[in-house]
Homo-oligomer: A and B are copies of this chain.
Amino acid sequence: MPTYKAPVKDMLFVLNDVLKLERYSNLESFAEATPDIIAAIVKQGGKFCEEVLQPINLSGDKEGCIRHEDGSVTTPKGFKEAYDLYCQGGWGGLTAPTEFGGQGLPWVLSVIIQELTASANLGFSLYPFLTAGVAGLLNKIGTDEQKKTYLPNMISGKWTGTMNLTEPQCGTDLRLLRTKAEPQDDGSYKITGTKIFISAGEHDLSENIIHLVLARIPGGPEGVKGISLFLVPKLIDGKPNRVSCGSIEEKMGIHSNSTCLLNYDGATGSLVGKEHEGLRGMFVLMNAARLGTGLQALGLSEVATQNAADYARDRLQGRSLTGVKFPDKVADPIIVHADVRRMLMNARCFNEGGRALALWIGLQMDLEEKAETEDERKTAKNLLALMIPTAKGVMSDLGYANATNAQQVFGGHGYIHEWGMEQFVRDARITMLYEGTNGIQAMDLVGRKLPKDNGEAIRAYFQMIEGYCKEYEKDYAEFTDPLKKALGDLQQAAMWLMQNAVKNPDNAGAAATSFMHLMGLVALGHMWAWMAVTSDQALKAGASDKAFHEAKLITARYFMNRHLPQTGSYYKKIEAGSEFMMALPAEAF
């Protein structure tokens, strides 16, 4: 059975030493986040995930959720008890507003909890993840009445939440949405339609489930401008509303999360935000949801890598190419083999680099709201515009690839359920698909975020990386030189797109995924340079944990040496253009 150890030290390194959260203590919510509080949260959260959530992950996958004839759903053994402990620990309210019972801490700490819970038990983590999303949205655009009615119970975890967008004929393209919302005399609406792929749609963990539902008010505009957002509770005043679970999807993974088809049959709902502005409401949550999805992949990559490293240290098979390392054993552990190291080092580059990136992005989400000056808030907003689709797309692609590699370290045993590695791969696979497929992320980045405001965001990003390199190139050229080179490829790619996407928009589509990954490499390169500089300075200042910082420097060098130069290969794909990609008639496939 797989194990999990929360990467507490690495998380604290990023929060305290790299991002230096203390610098922001003047800002709302940061004042409370003293180093002691942060350390306590990371450690306690890690302990909870290790001891409560991880032990029911493999069994939860095997057991899955069961829908009964009356439409009720039972979660796997131990999930209800774990959920109660999660609520008692106050984990759902960590960054929620204090006036509704939350602890009001910075958002960046939610990023920590999301990674930890995803590593320990992705299926479980989706129940509170969606609840936090719904509560966050209500907090931003709900009426005072809605906030008062729903937030305290959602923040405590007594009630959970869901997001209802997808319908059978309507996924990415929300113009095609059909669910109806008919206004009633009392100001409420009757919601009718079928929603699919509703995570946590029905279950036995909470007393009530609050569904957020996109629907059309008859007579409204066509297309996406006629979509409104509604709040539809499973129970109203304890009595069942007209919403029911028609089936649970049979999926590749995340079996312990009940992914439901929900039937709305004239269910009573209340409008959230303004009529016909439902999409704007949903977009409020987009950044958190997409970063969260990237974090899920990161969490799975982390736990998969930990288990692969343990296996590689234990499994005796073959001898090192550079001579027997353990003559007293029947064979050397497979970690002596360079090809096994390769998989572990690649994963390490992503796990640690991706963690720093995600936490830095989480910090920008705080700064976008709470920074003191308009300028600082704008800077954060621009960074998020670029980094959110990149983090979602790149982290989920790399998380899946690393989970697959970690499974590979196990050889044939990796294919067997009881080792748990194949579950990590199956679970990670969803992160590339939901919250907008990775192709959608890439198109969002290239088609929307890049050209917006005349490229303001990307130009600011270039300046920031150039500024970083300039600041450190004297002492740290071994890190800033490769970063500058990678940035050059990114700039060249952006230039190519400016010149070629207008004359043929398919050039943007053809380049999108490569551009997103090129951007991801630069962003990870930035993090690795930053971490390397931090660790080197710590070593020079006589840091006690030498081994930790030395490992950071070695991994940074591996990344600079082996990963970052791949930006050139992405650039080549981009400049190949769309001609041959689009040349075949559809029927030729």
Binding site for B on A (CB under 8 A): 166, 169-173, 175-176, 197, 249-253, 305, 309, 312-313, 316-318, 321-322, 330-331, 333, 335-342, 344-345, 348, 400, 404, 407-408, 411-418, 422, 425-426, 429-430, 432-434, 437-439, 442-443, 447, 504-510, 512-513, 547, 551, 554-555, 557-558, 561-562, 565-566, 568-569, 572-573, 576, 578, 580-589
Shortest distance in angstroms between A288's beta carbon and chain B's nearest beta carbon?
20
In angstroms, Cα B510 to Cα A341, docked, is: 8
In angstroms, Cα B346 to Cα A581, docked, is: 9
Chain B residues with Cβ below 8 Å from A584 are: 345, 551, 554-555
Q: Can you name 13 extra interface pairs (CB under 8 A) apart from A251-B416, A558-B583? A: A171-B412, A171-B413, A251-B422, A309-B589, A312-B586, A340-B439, A341-B510, A345-B580, A345-B581, A414-B433, A551-B584, A554-B583, A566-B572
A173-B331, A318-B173, A557-B580 are known contacts. Are A339 and B439 too (CB-CB below 8 A)?
Answer: yes
Chain B residues with Cβ below 8 Å from A565 are: 569, 572, 576
Chain B residues with Cβ below 8 Å from A337 are: 439, 509
10 sampled A-B residue pairs with Cβ under 8 A = A169-B316, A312-B586, A322-B504, A341-B510, A342-B513, A408-B432, A408-B437, A408-B439, A422-B426, A561-B580
A251-B416, A589-B309 are known contacts. Are A317 and B171 too (CB-CB below 8 A)?
Answer: yes
Chain B residues with Cβ below 8 Å from A430 are: 415
Task: Assess the B566–A338 pair: CB atoms within 8 A.
Answer: no
In the complex formed, the residue of B with least CB distance to A347 is: B589
In angstroms, Cα B16 to Cα A326, docked, is: 55
Quick one: which of A322, A425, A569, A581 has the most chain B CB within 10 A? A581
Task: Assess the A581–B342 pair: CB atoms within 8 A.
Answer: yes
Task: Assess the B561–A576 pair: CB atoms within 8 A.
Answer: yes
Chain B residues with Cβ below 8 Å from A415 are: 251-253, 429-430, 433-434
Task: Assess the A252–B331 pair: CB atoms within 8 A.
Answer: no
**Of B171, B506, B568, the contact of A568 (CB 8 Å cutoff):** B568
A339-B443, A509-B321 are known contacts. Are A547 and B176 too (CB-CB below 8 A)?
Answer: no
A171-B412, A339-B512, A422-B429 are known contacts. Are A558 and B586 too (CB-CB below 8 A)?
Answer: no
Chain B residues with Cβ below 8 Å from A561 are: 576, 580
In angstroms, Cα B415 to Cα A252, docked, is: 5
In the complex formed, the residue of B with least CB distance to A423 is: B252
Task: Assess the B554–A411 pair: CB atoms within 8 A.
Answer: no
**Of B172, B339, B555, the contact of A317 (CB 8 Å cutoff):** B172
Task: Assess the B566–A554 pair: CB atoms within 8 A.
Answer: no
In angstroms, Cα B417 to Cα A404, docked, is: 20
- Specify the main secondary structure of chain A where it touches its partner: helix
In angstroms, Cα B336 to Cα A169, docked, is: 18
Shortest distance in angstroms between A401's beta carbon and chain B's nearest beta carbon?
9
In the complex formed, the residue of B with least CB distance to A559 is: B580
Task: Assess the A562–B580 pair: CB atoms within 8 A.
Answer: yes
Task: Assess the B554–A175 pair: CB atoms within 8 A.
Answer: no
How many copies of the shown chain assemble into the complex?
Answer: 2
A338-B512, A411-B437, A573-B562 are known contacts. Are A418 and B176 too (CB-CB below 8 A)?
Answer: no
Chain B residues with Cβ below 8 Å from A316 are: 169, 173, 176
Chain B residues with Cβ below 8 Å from A173 are: 316-318, 331
Shortest distance in angstroms between A94's beta carbon and chain B's nearest beta carbon?
29
Task: Assess the A318–B422 pair: CB atoms within 8 A.
Answer: no
Task: Assess the A339–B442 pair: CB atoms within 8 A.
Answer: yes
Task: Assess the A339–B509 pair: CB atoms within 8 A.
Answer: yes
Task: Assess the B438–A408 pair: CB atoms within 8 A.
Answer: yes
A171-B412, A176-B331, A426-B426 are known contacts. Are A342 and B510 too (CB-CB below 8 A)?
Answer: yes
**Of B197, B322, B586, the contact of A335 (CB 8 Å cutoff):** B586
Task: Assess the A339–B429 pair: CB atoms within 8 A.
Answer: no
In angstroms, Cα B257 to Cα A415, docked, is: 14
Chain B residues with Cβ below 8 Å from A554 are: 580, 583-584
Chain B residues with Cβ below 8 Å from A336 are: 586
In angstroms, Cα B316 to Cα A566, docked, is: 35
In angstroms, Cα B497 to Cα A338, docked, is: 14
A425-B429, A434-B412, A580-B562 are known contacts. Are A338 and B250 too (CB-CB below 8 A)?
Answer: no
**Of B175, B513, B547, the contact of A339 (CB 8 Å cutoff):** B513
In angstroms, Cα B309 to Cα A443, docked, is: 20
Task: Assess the A341–B581 pair: CB atoms within 8 A.
Answer: yes
Chain B residues with Cβ below 8 Å from A408 are: 432-433, 437-439
In the complex formed, the residue of B with least CB distance to A338 is: B509
Task: Assess the B426–A505 pair: CB atoms within 8 A.
Answer: no
In the complex formed, the residue of B with least CB distance to A309 is: B589
Task: Assess the B551–A348 pair: CB atoms within 8 A.
Answer: no
Chain B residues with Cβ below 8 Å from A447 are: 321
In angstroms, Cα B285 to Cα A578, docked, is: 44
Chain B residues with Cβ below 8 Å from A338 are: 506-510, 512, 578, 581-582
A562-B573, A569-B566 are known contacts. Are A166 and B588 too (CB-CB below 8 A)?
Answer: no
Task: Assess the A335–B252 pair: CB atoms within 8 A.
Answer: no
In angstroms, Cα B430 to Cα A576, docked, is: 33
Task: Assess the A588–B433 pair: CB atoms within 8 A.
Answer: no
Shortest distance in angstroms between A521's beta carbon and chain B's nearest beta carbon?
12
Shortest distance in angstroms between A330's beta carbon and chain B's nearest beta carbon?
6
In the complex formed, the residue of B with least CB distance to A509 is: B338
